[in-house]
Amino acid sequence: MKKAFAHIFVFLVNFYTLSLVAGIGAGLYVGTNGPLPYWIAVPLLIGVAVLCGTYQWQRQVFAFRSIGEIVVGNFNKQSLLHQQKLFSFSRIPLFLLVLVTVVINGNLVDGVSEGKALSTAAGVFWLSFFFVVYYAISQFFTKPNILPLSLLVLTFLLFGSVASADATDQAHQGVFMLYQGLGGAWLVLGVLYIWSAKRHAKT
């Protein structure tokens, strides 16, 4: 059961992370070439799922680690249950926060299916957001400390302010509060788990 949950969690983190990248690419295409069919999100997401599933099935042949593997602390390509233990207590709350984070930001494909386009500037902004969050989360789960956590929290706070500017008046406050809440949740849990990591290192 533990192995099944580990595989499901890693798959979901990888799936929603790659979905964000696919959504950015599709949004840039719409911005350049015009609307895509409304049903395009279905095959696009199926393709992302196939890529993630194939990687997870044959992950031992790849030299790099996916974001999902990094989050669970897996360094052994032969078994996903071989994980580096960095914290002194359960990582489940932190894993749930990661999942919420990637789900919130991985739904860009839905907007593309509704005809939402991304300008070049917006695409660069989204890609920058993706790489910063990817880097900060990867660093935090490799060596938990205040630097990647600060980068992550500040990115969410800034992104919420900028992204809400593109929303309608009705949605403006919701988008802003969503990312403010996400940044606050990372700040609270992040500090707690940094303390946990330091405590674990002393044992």
Q: Distance between CA atoms of 57 and 55, rounded to whole angstroms?
A: 5
**Residue 93: its pLDDT value, please?**
94
> Mean pLDDT in runs of 10 for the chain (203 residues)?
85 93 83 74 88 91 90 87 87 94 76 63 84 94 94 89 61 76 95 92 78
pTM of the model: 0.87
Determine the pLDDT at residue 127: 87
pLDDT at position 2: 79
**The total number of structural domains that make up the chain:** 1
Q: How far apart are CA 171 and CA 17, in angstroms?
A: 24
Q: What is the pLDDT of residue 168?
A: 57
DSSP 20-69: HHHHHHHHHHHHHH-PPPGGGHHHHHHHHHHHHHHHHHTGGG-SS--HHH
Domain hosting 17: range is 2-202
